[in-house]
A and B are shown apart, each in its own frame.
Chain A
């Protein structure tokens, strides 16, 4: 089977070396195959190959577009901080209610019980949920990667200490820790909450990265780097982590979507984002009783959560397929 794998261009060695005299050296320039393959003449870096495969993944690509639209609309419509948006209504003001507050052209998402514009509210909630999700994603990825890489590379007591620490974080129920710490941290605003959530959700990534590093550190190019006298820090940052980037990016996207859900659960339980501000989870919590009578108050934030989480998951799927050459499928 090895020959079969090697003979496909996706594999490592497609072009058989023929001549004894010198084609081994010049074969690269000469090519020499009967039908030159497109792409053979150009240099694709690993990154470019990954991008190529990612953009061919339809679900991932459309999810990326949808998520992009959600982000742009959420931040431009009602503006952020002092910058005003293009949406005329404010999420804090109460307007005259039209009918029972069902969606109209003026208020496309309807109005809540007090007459607030629900579109503006949902956009504000989406902003907060997105900020928390991405901040948590970044924090947990950095922490997890660092801990996993150190544990995997140094082995010995460093690994024991770090991995037992990871175990401790894993055995404590996440929701309980997040609720207790979140309650305290929400005093510092949304960034405090994001920080706390990030600091309790790095465990799975740390384990993944450690596993990856454990296998990478045995590869010959790491040995070669050690033999040359490369410092451990340089080996980790230059040789090991760039090769684990697939695992890291994929896991980061998945941690973003789980952070959205975690924030939603916390806010739903009342431990997350506190009034007067709002997030998608808080909105659902506030209007859970309205599900039967005024369903739009429940459905809009619900759909938003669903859309964001699905998009991020699909993007993660697409990235995983793109980074894993074994996922290299052909179109038949």
Chain B
């Protein structure tokens, strides 16, 4: 399916013992605007039992690089250079050879486990598919092997799970299934493309533990693609930094993370918020000046929010939550997915009604207002959403997007609106030339700046920010956070800052509220909650957040394992029995007609 015109020149034995090697790899995409060079000649090797982290920001070509190893690029891609998987040259394989290689020699762990699994097939069907296609096991034997694999990745009751569908499993368990599928045919190398980005931080720590023990016990090479420097510090033996299709720096994790040489790597690392170092990393947050007798900007009182579902019992998303945000104060709302933090944010915006309790903005209860008064109250709240791609109307130019709140509230005339928009563009450090541009012409970070500018158009007293930097690259996030603190200092708005990233909360918030399953676990000043947590859940959450420093991260990892042991829980690892047999694909004449027989005999090592 892919146009691979790799010339298989050079001796095939030159790569030594690497299980995956890219030599002078180039990838070019043909598009309607001309050629785009996604990868510009990189050399990289992954050896058995080694984790090589490929880091870079979006668009740097890291995923494209990994896809070439599987021969899975879209039709308009042209690949140059040599890619070796074991002793095979990817470019020299035909369709059948490629299919044989995928899964057998190189397997993939995807970012989003829900979309990587087919929702209409059972876990068992999906696990045995690979086994049967590659002739490793069939029928009952394959099912037994699938159960064994699920047991290995630490899923309890594997036999029962085989009959379940992906939606019946939690996110972490789904990712474990994806990992089980990847190791099913005992590949020499696993490509993990952002394997933990879609997961909660505690689940991420478990999955990383699992991957680490996997490469130790099976001696598999792992190419880890990530943008999270904490994950890199936690996992990687060697690190390769990509920038715009070029490899700018490679070295051991310690070399690259602690003694970076390239300018870009240094900047990248400086942009990573560091949990534990508190505010000041990206500009100081102004202290709260509100007097105690002032009305709180936001006051939630015994708030309960319920979702009514047809034919099912009502779901209580938020249960008896009381919190308040003083004027000029930033309150960080943290929690894992499903903890109700976004629901609270929407309620604070008046988009969801409270089932009981109240949500008041500057002393006015949202639930009691209608029509004009409600509209007037909304003027005092600004909002920034997570996904910059969907929070701007694609049909409106930026100038109109930012001026929209003024138009809605019928404030000012054409002239003064334009002046206000330009003023805000300056405030969020965007060039004035974006006034007439459309959202699709801007990058993610620029769009998020527009989003923030729109939120500030009416000079609100309260800003609700729902994961405003989670979808951004780390250097862009650093810039946006820097700008955010500067804006907060200037406009003195109060802010309910929702995030799952403890490091971001650590450098912004005055106070922190920790949520779990719709209830508040702990709340208090930032130093207290994040640096001396009292509750077990908070401790766990903080222990699971990786920091971008290999040695410190190792210490933290061991401390986390100690914490888990103390709490009587297992550390996630690959369970390999003494008599674990590595699968040897059957040498049937049908499957291996394209000259693959040679490598099959040695079964991986």
Residues from chain B with Cβ under 8 Å of A3 in the complex: 58-59, 61-64
The closest CB in chain A to the CB of B35 belongs to: A35
Residues from chain A with Cβ under 8 Å of B111 in the complex: 2
User: CB of B430 within 8 A of chain A?
Assistant: yes
Nearest CB of chain B from residue A37's CB, rounded to whole Å: 4
Please tell me if the beta carbons of B33 and A234 are within 8 angstroms of each other in the complex: no
Please tell me if the beta carbons of B404 and A228 are within 8 angstroms of each other in the complex: yes
Q: Complex: how many Å from CA A6 to CA B388? A: 14
Q: Complex: how many Å from CA A19 to CA B270? A: 11
Nearest CB of chain A from residue B390's CB, rounded to whole Å: 5
Map CB proximity to B onto A24-48 as digits: 1 under 8 Å, 0 otherwise: 1111110001110111100111100
Residues from chain B with Cβ under 8 Å of A46 in the complex: 394-395, 438, 440
Map CB proximity to A onto B375-399 as digits: 1 under 8 Å, 0 otherwise: 1101101010111011111111100
Q: Complex: how many Å from CA A27 to CA B434? A: 11
Q: Complex: how many Å from CA A35 to CA B28? A: 13
Q: Restricting to B156-188, which residues have a CB under 8 Å from any CB of A?
A: none
User: CB of A92 within 8 A of chain B?
Assistant: no
Please tell me if the beta carbons of A330 and B32 are within 8 angstroms of each other in the complex: yes
Residues from chain A with Cβ under 8 Å of B548 in the complex: none
Residues from chain A with Cβ under 8 Å of B298 in the complex: none
User: CB of A113 within 8 A of chain B?
Assistant: no
Please tell me if the beta carbons of B476 and A29 are within 8 angstroms of each other in the complex: no
* Interface 9-residue window, one of B8-16, B42-50, B98-106, B444-452: B444-452
A330-B76, A332-B30 known; A14 and B433 CB under 8 Å? no
User: CB of A227 within 8 A of chain B?
Assistant: yes
Please tell me if the beta carbons of A6 and B59 are within 8 angstroms of each other in the complex: yes
Please tell me if the beta carbons of B475 and A19 are within 8 angstroms of each other in the complex: yes
Q: Complex: how many Å from CA A234 to CA B73? A: 43
A225-B404, A228-B405, A234-B408 known; A7 and B442 CB under 8 Å? no
A28-B434, A234-B408, A239-B393 known; A18 and B243 CB under 8 Å? yes
Map CB proximity to B onto A7-26 as digits: 1 under 8 Å, 0 otherwise: 11110111111111110111
Map CB proximity to A onto B471-482 as digits: 1 under 8 Å, 0 otherwise: 001011011100
Q: Restricting to A151-180, which residues have a CB under 8 Å from any CB of B?
A: none
Q: Complex: how many Å from CA A296 to CA B386? A: 65
Contact of A220 among B62, B350, B387, B405 (CB under 8 A): B387
The closest CB in chain A to the CB of B34 belongs to: A37
User: CB of A292 within 8 A of chain B?
Assistant: no
Residues from chain A with Cβ under 8 Å of B33 in the complex: 9-10, 37-40
A17-B443, A22-B479, A38-B33 known; A4 and B270 CB under 8 Å? no
Q: Name which of B36, B375, B392, B451 has the most chain A CB atoms within 10 A of its CB.
A: B36
Residues from chain B with Cβ under 8 Å of A221 in the complex: 390-393
Q: Restricting to B440-496, which residues have a CB under 8 Å from any CB of A?
A: 440-446, 449, 451, 454, 458, 464, 473, 475-476, 478-480
The closest CB in chain B to the CB of A225 belongs to: B404
User: CB of A290 within 8 A of chain B?
Assistant: no
User: CB of B317 within 8 A of chain A?
Assistant: no
Residues from chain B with Cβ under 8 Å of A220 in the complex: 385-387, 390-391
A20-B267, A20-B479 known; A224 and B378 CB under 8 Å? no
Residues from chain B with Cβ under 8 Å of A22 in the complex: 429, 479
Please tell me if the beta carbons of B57 and A17 are within 8 angstroms of each other in the complex: yes
Please tell me if the beta carbons of B431 and A8 are within 8 angstroms of each other in the complex: no
Please tell me if the beta carbons of B271 and A20 are within 8 angstroms of each other in the complex: yes
Residues from chain A with Cβ under 8 Å of B395 in the complex: 46, 239, 242-243
Q: Restricting to B269-300, which residues have a CB under 8 Å from any CB of A?
A: 270-271
The closest CB in chain B to the CB of A242 belongs to: B395
Please tell me if the beta carbons of B244 and A16 are within 8 angstroms of each other in the complex: yes
User: CB of B37 within 8 A of chain A?
Assistant: yes
User: CB of A223 within 8 A of chain B?
Assistant: yes
Contact of B446 among A24, A231, A238 (CB under 8 A): A24
Q: Complex: how many Å from CA A13 to CA B446? A: 11
Q: Complex: how many Å from CA A29 to CA B430? A: 10
Q: Restricting to B397-450, which residues have a CB under 8 Å from any CB of A?
A: 397, 404-405, 408-409, 429-431, 433-434, 436-438, 440-446, 449
Nearest CB of chain B from residue A100's CB, rounded to whole Å: 56
User: CB of B74 within 8 A of chain A?
Assistant: yes
Residues from chain B with Cβ under 8 Å of A21 in the complex: 267
Nearest CB of chain B from residue A46's CB, rounded to whole Å: 6
Nearest CB of chain A from residue B72's CB, rounded to whole Å: 8
Residues from chain A with Cβ under 8 Å of B37 in the complex: 34-35
Q: Name which of B32, B75, B243 has the most chain A CB atoms within 10 A of its CB.
A: B32
User: CB of A328 within 8 A of chain B?
Assistant: yes
The closest CB in chain B to the CB of A226 belongs to: B351
Residues from chain A with Cβ under 8 Å of B330 in the complex: none
Nearest CB of chain B from residue A124's CB, rounded to whole Å: 41
Q: Complex: how many Å from CA A332 to CA B32? A: 10
User: CB of A219 within 8 A of chain B?
Assistant: yes
Please tell me if the beta carbons of A330 and B31 are within 8 angstroms of each other in the complex: yes
Q: Complex: how many Å from CA A37 to CA B381? A: 40
Q: Complex: how many Å from CA A231 to CA B408? A: 8
Contact of B36 among A9, A223, A225 (CB under 8 A): A9
Residues from chain B with Cβ under 8 Å of A242 in the complex: 393, 395
The closest CB in chain A to the CB of B479 belongs to: A24
User: CB of B349 within 8 A of chain A?
Assistant: yes
Residues from chain B with Cβ under 8 Å of A326 in the complex: none
Q: Name which of A46, A223, A227, A242 has the most chain B CB atoms within 10 A of its CB.
A: A227
User: CB of B29 within 8 A of chain A?
Assistant: yes
Please tell me if the beta carbons of B29 and A8 are within 8 angstroms of each other in the complex: yes
Q: Complex: how many Å from CA A35 to CA B73? A: 22
Residues from chain A with Cβ under 8 Å of B446 in the complex: 24-25, 27-28
User: CB of A229 within 8 A of chain B?
Assistant: yes
Q: Complex: how many Å from CA A205 to CA B582? A: 57
Residues from chain B with Cβ under 8 Å of A234 in the complex: 408
Please tell me if the beta carbons of A24 and B445 are within 8 angstroms of each other in the complex: yes
Q: Complex: how many Å from CA A9 to CA B33? A: 7
Contact of A331 among B32, B62, B442 (CB under 8 A): B32
Map CB proximity to A onto B80-113 as digits: 1 under 8 Å, 0 otherwise: 0000000000000000000000000000000100
Residues of chain A having any CB pair with chain B under 8 Å: 1-4, 6-10, 12-22, 24-29, 33-35, 37-40, 43-46, 219-221, 223-231, 234, 238-239, 242-243, 328, 330-332
Having A26-B431, A231-B408, one finds 6 other A-B pairs with CB under 8 Å, namely: A3-B58, A17-B476, A24-B443, A223-B349, A227-B350, A243-B394
25 examples of A-B residue contacts, CB within 8 angstroms: A3-B58, A4-B77, A7-B38, A13-B58, A15-B443, A18-B57, A20-B268, A20-B270, A20-B475, A20-B479, A24-B476, A24-B480, A25-B446, A28-B446, A46-B438, A46-B440, A220-B390, A223-B346, A229-B374, A231-B408, A238-B396, A243-B393, A328-B32, A330-B76, A332-B75
Residues of chain B having any CB pair with chain A under 8 Å: 29-38, 57-64, 67, 73-77, 111, 243-244, 264, 267-268, 270-271, 346, 349-351, 374-376, 378-379, 381, 383, 385-387, 389-397, 404-405, 408-409, 429-431, 433-434, 436-438, 440-446, 449, 451, 454, 458, 464, 473, 475-476, 478-480
- Top 7 closest A-B pairs, CB basis? A16-B59, A3-B63, A20-B267, A229-B378, A220-B391, A229-B375, A220-B385
